[in-house]
């Protein structure tokens, strides 16, 4: 093979299109005759709808239709589907397409207007008269579990919808014999993923063909297709869902269903006209799922040397008004907490709680940042109390390389045992310390201090579970033109699948990477799949791509062997040509083989499996892969303002073999930026009535190029034994430990003059300043 | 709704070197005009309140937010959008630099960054990193962490100095 693309910094195939304004995002879909939807949203966190009068709205010129709950067919009037049930989830309450009489959070959909333009549709929203009877709202997470709390769902006698405990070993015995037990409370508040593209749906119904086409900015187009077919009583073959270019996902763009994902297709079928709904930013803040709110009461038991004997966390998880996505986030928080440390006795227990706030579902990290924040803060506490170096206490507790596969003893989010497949935590940690200059840090810190500067260092490690099943698939086709097409079942939101998957195929078929055309996120191109979430696309779809490409390679040799009258063993594939070894004349291009593989007459051998130079393969991993990493940062605090400046940020990351380091580093850097937002700038604030006070980018601060530093990255590659490529997930690595790193660095910067203790995230300049001033 | 939106005005704009004249509703934003009336969907709508910068275009050569303007306010103006920079086969040096430095992931914010940077580099051909970061801080990206974008703009400044601008032909 002339070039090997796997592992190389291959420039992205998708870039020329995206750079020249030729991307195809949902809002760029402009069918002839399209009409525009707008959603009337609840202004109350909790209210009974006494009546809705839509007459004036319906009479407005340009309005095509107005829908309320009463107008919906039974399948759409019922609660929307329950995703991911769990035995511990007793009250699996899901959201409605349109509120049936009670609204339970600000932003909940109440009515849907379709009009000639979005402008007129929004005018019509103002003309809908809803008579609300406000009900008592419960907003605060702890208040929601108090005995006298208002109830979010009045058919329950509590707001707790799940109570789940996992235990490893004997935690009571561990605590009883421990030299030290330390107890702390940690809180993490809400944020939003804020993809630059808000959500959007376009639907077109061809009544004669009975064919529904939906463009949806979703991370999971195939499950959306399956669900829509069921809800709209159509065969799956009559529904095609396309996730075209998606302008960032980060978790919340997978839900099945957001109300608009059923309302827009339903209206398109009813009206027999294409319907478009594009979420605006204000809507996005209230109507797209949020994440992060948890309160942990945690304890760590250690021996006299700081060796961990046991860890216990009991926490509350705020699910918002409904819990469609189940208890994935708190399970991930529980199971990420142990991280790279040997914890022989562990108790994790949570209650998932309804509040009158926007629904919570995974946002990049999805519980992992919480687990790591709790664990790393506990390690810092141990170091401080035992007067140990913070890196030494960690080194003493790392899982060692000869302990893999390492069974943590828990059940992970995929219902499979939590077994770390491989890793090299001490080496990753050591490399990060080297890059941040830990050895010289005491002198450097002292030097800063002599100059009157408050500068601190933070370092934290994590294990990132990803690459979970159930499966993904890929079909690779060499067309008679010689062009290679591949369709995969996952969608893409910027992760570079058009390139990384093409690299895998180009290597197998010895063709230029830019000649491999990938289709992602189109249920019309690939009918089976789940979606892009949980850091799994490169692992699960990537391995399906590799298997399919390998099968096509083998088939090319088989077909060529027939045509060239040679033995397969005597053939070689090079530069897209199959030839008999040692002969330049007896040779066939992949294009010619593709023609030969699909004859119009005659017979095809049974071992060709199917006609054409094509193969489909699925990959179903036995359980998840577990990547690891360490972040370290040097952060300066301005004690007069509470503002910070990140002087250095390093990441050492191990996600197994690397397909494309450029893409991987991009994933990590983007994650770190979101983590910095989560740690210091971004916070969704609700008032006591459940009104969201941060509904613009003026109030909710996304970090800019001024706040995000350069991130230095190094990789250690410990392949996963669980898949042929040896890869692990990496999508969430950047974001996971940032709050933990920040907390440690800020405390380090401010000791000893300002002995602050950080146990909450996110912080903000104001909050940090208050903490400093209280000292 | 006190005043039904019935006011229609004619607007004539030169976009990417071509003149367009349309009757528009006076409340139609410039970005909706570009995207819907002219089908130039390269300019994106990210926040509609002037913070994210995804809708940045050049108006008479200046980088502006097309979500904060009405189409009628652009009457008689010269507008340049991302579609005028380069083609997939022949990228503008700035676009090349974005590709080389992985300055984009999902690509949604990218047209806005490109237009901001094009205007900036014309005024500041030899920028410092601090100047680059400051001008880019008016645009939001949620994917990249900005590093690739900063590197791309730095590199593009160099390329534009040595290779020449390459945008003049489109204006």
Mean pLDDT computed over A538-562: 96
- Closest partner CB to A11 (pick from B100, B110, B143): B100
Cα(B91)–Cα(B100) distance, rounded to whole angstroms?
12
Range in A1-5, A335-339, A577-581, A653-657 the model is least confident about: A1-5
| Predicted local distance difference test score (pLDDT) of residue A533 | 85
Tell me the mean pLDDT in the region A150-177.
98
Average pLDDT across chain A, whole number: 96
Contact B115, B83 (CB under 8 A): no
H or E stretch covering B3: none
CB A746 within 8 A of CB A636: no
Which residues, at least 6 apart from A740, have a Cβ–Cβ distance to it below 8 Å? A369, A372, A373, A375, A376, A377, A458, A460, A462
The ipTM, to two decimals, is 0.96
Question: What whole-number distance in Å separates Cα of residue A379 and Cα of residue A372?
Answer: 10
With a pLDDT cut of 70, the percent of chain A lying above it is 100
Q: Cβ neighbours of residue B128 under 8 Å, at least 6 residues apart?
A: none
Q: How far apart are CA A591 and CA A605, in angstroms?
A: 19
Mutate to test the interface with A, among B56, B107, B115, B151 (most CBs of A within 10 A): B107
Sequence-distant (≥ 6) Cβ neighbours of residue A69 within 8 angstroms: A77, A96, A97, A98, A99, A100, A101
* Tens-place pLDDT, residues B106-128: 999 999 999 999 999 999 999 99
pLDDT at A1: 43
The H or E element spanning position A72 is none
Least confident of A132-136, A227-231, A410-414: A410-414
> A238-257 pLDDT, tens per residue?
999 999 999 999 999 998 89
Confidence (pTM)? 0.96
Contact A492, A432 (CB under 8 A): no
Average pLDDT on A699-714 reads 97
Contact A521, A541 (CB under 8 A): no
Does B99 contact A19 at a Cβ distance shorter than 8 Å?
yes
Residue B165's pLDDT band (boundaries 50, 70, 90)? low
How many Å apart are CA A697 and CA A682, to the nearest integer? 10
Query: What are the strands of the beta sheet with A644-654, ordered from one edge?
Result: A454-466, A625-637, A644-654, A712-715
Q: Which chain A residues are closer than 8 Å to B102 by Cβ?
A: 12, 662-663, 665-666
- Six-digit token pair at A137? 């709202």
Closest alpha carbon within chain A to B26: A119
Report yes or no: A27 at the B interface, CB cutoff 8 Å: yes
Distance separating alpha carbons of residues B33 and B21, to the nearest angstrom: 11
**Ranges of H-type helices in A386-420:** 390-395
pLDDT of residue B168: 47
Q: How many helices (H) and strands (E) does chain A have?
A: 20, 29
- Determine whether the interchain pair A197/B106 forms a contact, defined as Cβ–Cβ distance below 8 Å: yes
pLDDT at B3: 55
Angle at A284 between CA A12 and CA A27, to 5 degrees: 50
pLDDT tens-digit series, residues A724-763 = 999 999 899 999 999 999 999 999 999 999 999 999 999 9
Chain B window 63-122: which residues touch A at a Cβ cutoff of 8 Å? 81-83, 85-89, 91, 95, 98-100, 102, 104-111, 114
Average pLDDT of the residues in A24-52: 98
* Residue range A193-218: mean pLDDT, rounded: 98
Nearest Cβ partner for B107 among A30, A494, A672? A494
CB contact under 8 A, A696 and B87: no
Q: Does B140 touch chain A (CB under 8 A)?
A: yes
**B157: phi then psi, degrees, rounded to nearest 5:** -60, -45
Per-residue model confidence (pLDDT) at position A363: 96
CA distance to A41, A263, B7, B47, B130, per residue, from A110 (Å) = 5, 12, 31, 23, 47
B95 and A248 in contact by Cβ < 8 A? no
Integer Cα distance of A355 and A146 in angstroms = 12
Confidence of residue A534 (pLDDT cuts 50, 70, 90): confident
Q: Considering only alpha carbons, which residue of chain A is nearest residue B37?
A: A30
Cβ contacts of A333 within 8 Å, gap of 6 or more = A294, A315, A317, A350, A367, A368, A370, A371
Q: Which segments of A680-745 are extended strands (E)? A: 712-715
Query: Which of A19, A245, A734 is opposite residue B95, by nearest beta carbon?
Result: A19
Question: For the segment A43-53, what is each residue's pLDDT rounded down to a tens digit?
Answer: 999 999 999 99
For residue A774, pLDDT beyond 90: yes
Do residues A76 and A67 make contact, with C-beta atoms less than 8 angstroms apart?
no
Q: Which residues contact A196 (CB under 8 A, 6 or more apart)?
A: A247, A248, B44, B46, B52, B54, B106, B108, B109, B140, B141, B142, B143
Digit-coded pLDDT (tens) for A107-161: 999 999 999 999 999 999 999 999 999 999 999 999 999 999 999 999 999 999 9
């Amino acid at each position: 093979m002339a070039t090997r693309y796997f592992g190389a910094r291959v420039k992205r195939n998708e870039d020329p299109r995206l750079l020249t304004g030729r991307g195809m995002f949902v809002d760029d879909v402009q069918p002839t005759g399209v009409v525009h939807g707008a959603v009337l949203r609840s202004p109350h966190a909790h209210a009974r709808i006494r009546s809705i009068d839509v007459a004036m709205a319906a009479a407005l010129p340009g309005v095509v239709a107005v829908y309320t709950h009463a107008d919906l067919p039974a399948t759409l009037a019922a609660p929307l589907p329950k995703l991911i049930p769990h035995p511990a989830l007793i009250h699996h309450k899901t959201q409605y397409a349109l509120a049936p009489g009670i609204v339970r959070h600000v932003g909940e959909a109440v009515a849907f207007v379709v009009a000639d333009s979005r402008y007129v549709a929004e005018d019509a929203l103002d003309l809908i008269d809803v008579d609300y009877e406000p009900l008592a709202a419960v907003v605060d997470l702890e208040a929601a579990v108090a005995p006298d709390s208002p109830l979010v769902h009045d058919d329950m006698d509590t707001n707790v919808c799940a109570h789940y405990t996992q235990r490893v070993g004997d935690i009571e015995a561990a605590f009883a014999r421990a030299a030290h037990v330390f107890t702390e409370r940690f809180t993490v508040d809400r944020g939003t993923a804020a993809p630059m593209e808000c959500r959007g749906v376009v639907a077109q119904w061809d009544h004669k063909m009975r064919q529904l086409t939906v463009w949806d900015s979703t991370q999971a187009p195939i499950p959306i297709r399956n669900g829509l077919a069921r809800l709209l009583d159509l065969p799956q073959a009559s529904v095609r869902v396309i996730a075209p270019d998606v302008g960032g996902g980060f978790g919340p763009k997978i839900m099945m269903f957001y109300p608009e994902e059923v309302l827009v297709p339903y209206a398109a079928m009813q009206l027999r006209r294409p319907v478009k709904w594009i979420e605006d930013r204000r809507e996005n803040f209230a109507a797209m799922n949020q994440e992060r709110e948890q309160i942990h009461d945690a304890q760590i038991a250690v021996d006299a040397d700081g060796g961990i004997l046991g860890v216990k966390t009991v926490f509350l998880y705020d699910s918002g008004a409904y819990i469609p996505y189940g208890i994935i986030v708190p399970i991930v928080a529980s199971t990420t907490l142990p991280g790279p440390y040997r914890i022989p006795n562990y108790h994790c227990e949570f209650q998932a709680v309804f509040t009158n706030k926007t629904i919570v579902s995974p946002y990049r990290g999805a519980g992992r940042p919480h687990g790591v924040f709790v664990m790393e803060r506990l390690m810092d506490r141990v170091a401080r109390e035992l007067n140990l170096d913070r890196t030494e206490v960690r080194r003493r507790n790392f899982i060692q390389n000869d302990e893999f596969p390492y069974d943590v003893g828990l059940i992970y989010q995929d219902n499979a045992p939590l077994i770390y497949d491989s890793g090299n935590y001490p080496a990753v940690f050591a490399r990060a310390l080297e890059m941040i200059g830990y050895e010289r840090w005491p002198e450097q810190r002292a030097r800063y201090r002599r100059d009157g500067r408050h500068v601190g260092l933070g370092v934290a490690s994590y294990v990132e579970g990803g690459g979970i099943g159930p499966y993904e698939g890929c079909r690779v086709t060499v067309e008679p033109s010689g062009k290679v097409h591949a369709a995969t079942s996952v969608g893409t939101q910027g992760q570079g699948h058009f390139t990384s998957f093409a690299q895998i195929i180009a290597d197998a078929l010895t063709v230029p990477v830019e000649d491999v055309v990938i289709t992602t996120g189109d249920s019309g191109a690939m009918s089976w799949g789940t979606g892009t979430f949980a850091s799994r696309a490169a692992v699960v779809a990537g391995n399906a791509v590799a298997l399919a490409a390998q099968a096509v390679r083998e088939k090319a040799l088989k077909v060529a062997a027939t045509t060239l009258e040679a033995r397969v063993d005597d053939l070689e594939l090079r530069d897209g040509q199959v030839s008999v070894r040692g002969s330049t004349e007896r040779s066939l291009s992949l294009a010619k083989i593709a023609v030969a593989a699909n004859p119009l007459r005659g017979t095809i051998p049974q071992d060709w499996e199917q006609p054409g130079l094509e193969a489909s393969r699925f990959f179903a991993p036995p359980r998840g892969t577990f990547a690891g990493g360490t972040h370290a940062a040097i952060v300066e605090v301005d004690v007069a303002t509470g503002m910070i400046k990140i002087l250095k940020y390093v990441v050492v990351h191990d996600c197994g073999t690397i397909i494309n380091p450029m893409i991987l580093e991009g994933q990590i850097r983007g994650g770190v930026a979101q983590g910095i937002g989560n740690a210091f700038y971004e916070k969704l604030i609700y008032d006591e009535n459940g009104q969201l006070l941060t509904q613009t980018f003026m109030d909710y601060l996304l970090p800019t190029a001024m706040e995000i530093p350069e991130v230095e990255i190094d990789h250690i590659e410990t392949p996963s034994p669980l898949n042929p490529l040896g890869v692990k997930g990496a999508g969430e690595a950047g974001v996971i430990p940032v709050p933990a790193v920040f907390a440690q660095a800020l405390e380090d910067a401010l000791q000893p003059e300002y002995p602050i203790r950080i146990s909450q995230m996110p912080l903000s300049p104001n909050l940090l300043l208050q903490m400093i001033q209280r000292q | 709704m006190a005043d039904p939106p019935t006011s229609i005005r004619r607007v004539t704009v030169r976009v990417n070197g071509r003149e367009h004249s349309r009757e528009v509703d006076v409340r139609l934003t410039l970005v909706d005009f570009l995207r819907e009336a002219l089908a130039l969907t390269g300019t994106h709508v990210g926040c509609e309140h002037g913070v994210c910068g995804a809708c940045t275009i050049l108006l008479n050569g200046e980088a502006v937010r097309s979500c904060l303007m009405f189409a009628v306010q652009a009457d008689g103006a010269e507008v340049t959008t991302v579609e005028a920079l380069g083609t997939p086969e022949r990228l503008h040096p700035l676009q090349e630099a974005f590709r080389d430095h992985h300055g984009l992931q999902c690509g949604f914010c990218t047209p806005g960054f490109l237009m901001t940077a094009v205007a900036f580099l014309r005024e500041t051909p030899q920028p410092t990193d601090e100047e680059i970061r400051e001008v880019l801080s008016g645009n939001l990206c949620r994917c990249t962490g900005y590093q690739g974008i900063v590197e791309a703009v730095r590199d593009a400044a160099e390329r534009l100095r040595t290779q020449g601008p390459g945008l003049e032909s489109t204006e």
